[in-house]
Amino acid sequence: MNLGKFFQKVENHFGNQLPFVMYRKPKQTKVFGRFQNTSDLHCTSDFSESGFVFSPFNAQEQTVLIPSSCSDFEEVDLEFNEHIAFDEHHMYENQFERKQHIHLVNQGIKAIKSTSLKKVVLSRKETKHLDEFNLITTFKKLLKTYNAAFVYCWFHPKVGLWLGATPETLLKIEGKNFSMMALAGTQEYQGTLEVEWQNKEKKEQQYVTDYIVDNLKSVTDSIKLSDVETVKAGHLVHLKTMVSARLKDNIPLQSIINTIHPTPAVCGVPKEVAKTFILQNEHYKREFYTGFLGELNAHIILAPKGRVRNIENRAYAMTKKSTQLYVNLRCMQIQENQATIYVGGGITENSNAEKEWQETVAKSLVIKKAL
Ligand SMILES: C=C(O[C@H]1C=CC=C(C(=O)O)[C@@H]1O)C(=O)O
């Protein structure tokens, strides 16, 4: 199948109101699609299933699954050289939303200074009227603009249409190999990765790394940390540490996910205090923003290794289960002629509410550029 036929299949599926997801992994040149055969709503029961999951921020709510067993999988090379016209977007600040967000951030800072809360990620949503919307064009714009992101378009007639370009991996598991990312701290990219970071951002990111390491101890062995590095995500830069480990025997995926999601990159420290603060104070529902999405228990075939051979002296090809989940950031939901864009940022005791507002405005541009 070529890319044109692939997009035709997406359009037909969408036209017939059937669930599907198309996605491109960071820095890869293939686009994958999973197309469900019926409009049934499937949910995971314990993450032992196989397919593509779409999970909300609130882990008490159900995770939607496009099961491998009742969907087609397609894979195409991404080789489009067509010119795509991008509309210009100006920084637009809604003063009411600004006041509201600044108030929320100040409430967060106050709670950090007076309770056990140390860090909380506070967010908002913003709507944008769309004169016209074409999901293929927007998906292509996201692909062209964000090579290092996980770019996706996900649809279920009973849930909605979501698109995004997230810089953050929640976890990767291949056999017993485990890795995840501690990503936090934001600045606008100024043409170089030689960036000065303030203590506020360093601390904000360190909370994420510490939380991951502390929580992984019960489910993994030999945890290793990379150096902290500056990474580019579109016109922004973040601080990142990669965490890798070996999974202990017989740990169900569900308990790994419950242990780490939501991380302090999207929730806070301590987790339950931050989550309660968010649910009580944000005054809107995050839905799938800051949830996670991706391939669940995919069967992958590994290239045969020289030494292990069968009776005919042929090297064995091994199959392994692989799960690759991404945090749903820099995303939007499309409803009729309106896009709802979700943005947030980590708050610590040294945060400045006006700067936090500006950060959400800058983050909203990631998605607006593709509209
Ligand atoms: C919550 C978001 O970003 C997270 C990931 C990277 C940097 C973040 C920050 O600097 O606050 C956030 O923790 C968002 O983009 O909506």
**Ligand 1 proximity of 265 Cβ (cutoff 6 Å):** yes
Amino acid letter, 96: F
By alpha-carbon position, which residue is closest to atom 14 of ligand 1? 344
pLDDT at position 315: 64
Cα 138 to middle of ligand 1, angstroms: 22
Distance 25 CA to ligand 1 centre (A): 19
Q: Whole-angstrom Cα distance, residue 174 to residue 293? A: 17
Q: Is 183 in the pocket of ligand 1 (CB under 6 A)?
A: yes
Tell how far the Cα of 291 is from the centroid of ligand 1, in angstroms.
13
Relative to the CA of 342, which ligand 1 atom is closest? 16
**Atom 10 of ligand 1, nearest CA residue:** 185
pTM above 0.90, yes or no: yes
Q: Is the CB of 344 under 6 A from ligand 1?
A: yes
Structural domains present in the chain: 3-84+95-302+312-368 (3.60.120.10)
How many whole angstroms separate alpha carbon 230 and alpha carbon 32? 29
Q: Are 190 and 199 in contact (CB under 8 A)?
A: no
pLDDT in the model for residue 120 = 98
- What is the per-residue burial (b if ≥16 Cβ within 10 Å, else e) of 237-273? bbbbbbbbbebeeebebeebbebbbbbbbbbbbebeb
The SS3 assignment for 180 reads: strand
**pLDDT confidence of residue 318:** 74
Query: Hey, which of 195, 212, 230, 238 would you mutate to test ligand 1's pocket, going by the most ligand atoms within 8 Å of its Cβ?
Result: 238
Structure tokens at 75: 């894979």
The pLDDT value recorded for residue 8 is: 97
**How far, in Å, is the centroid of ligand 1 from the Cα of 359?**
9
Tell me, in angstroms, the distance from the centre of ligand 1 to residue 145's CA.
Answer: 19
Structure confidence at residue 79 (pLDDT): 80
> What is the pLDDT at residue 300?
79
Structure tokens at 300: 């992958």
In short, whether 165's Cβ falls inside 6 Å of ligand 1 is: no
Instruction: Tell how far the Cα of 241 is from the centroid of ligand 1, in angstroms.
Output: 14
8-state DSSP, 69: G
Question: Rounded to whole angstroms, how far apart are CA atoms 53 and 151?
Answer: 15
Q: Cα separations (Å) of 24 from 72, 118, 315? A: 17, 35, 31
- From CA 231, how far away is CA 238, in angstroms rounded? 5
Closest CA to 24 of 197, 215, 163: 163
Check if 267 has its Cβ closer than 6 Å to any atom of ligand 1: no
Q: Is the CB of 346 under 6 A from ligand 1?
A: yes
Rounded to the nearest 10 degrees, the angle between the axes of helix 3-15 and helix 135-145 is 140
Closest ligand 1 atom to 266 CA: 1
User: Does residue 363's CB lie within 6 angstroms of at least one atom of ligand 1?
Assistant: yes
Could you identify the atom of ligand 1 that is nearest to the CA of residue 208? 13
- In this predicted complex, what is the ipTM? 0.99
Distance CA 71, CA 63 (A): 17
Residue 307 has a pLDDT of 59
Burial of 41 by CB count in 10 Å (0-12 exposed, 13-18 middle, 19+ buried)? middle
- CA torsion angle for 128, 55, 146, 11 (degrees, to 10)? -70
Query: How far, in Å, from the CA of 130 to the mean position of ligand 1?
Result: 25
> 347 CB under 6 A from ligand 1?
no
pLDDT (tens place) for every residue of the chain, 371 residues total? 899 999 999 999 999 999 999 999 999 999 999 999 999 999 999 999 999 999 999 989 999 999 999 999 999 998 867 777 777 766 667 889 999 999 999 999 999 999 999 999 999 999 999 999 999 999 999 999 999 999 999 999 999 999 999 999 999 999 999 999 999 999 999 999 999 999 999 999 999 999 999 999 999 999 999 999 999 999 999 999 999 999 999 999 999 999 999 999 999 999 999 999 999 999 899 999 999 999 999 987 766 665 566 666 666 667 788 999 999 999 999 998 999 999 999 999 999 999 999 999 999 999 999 99
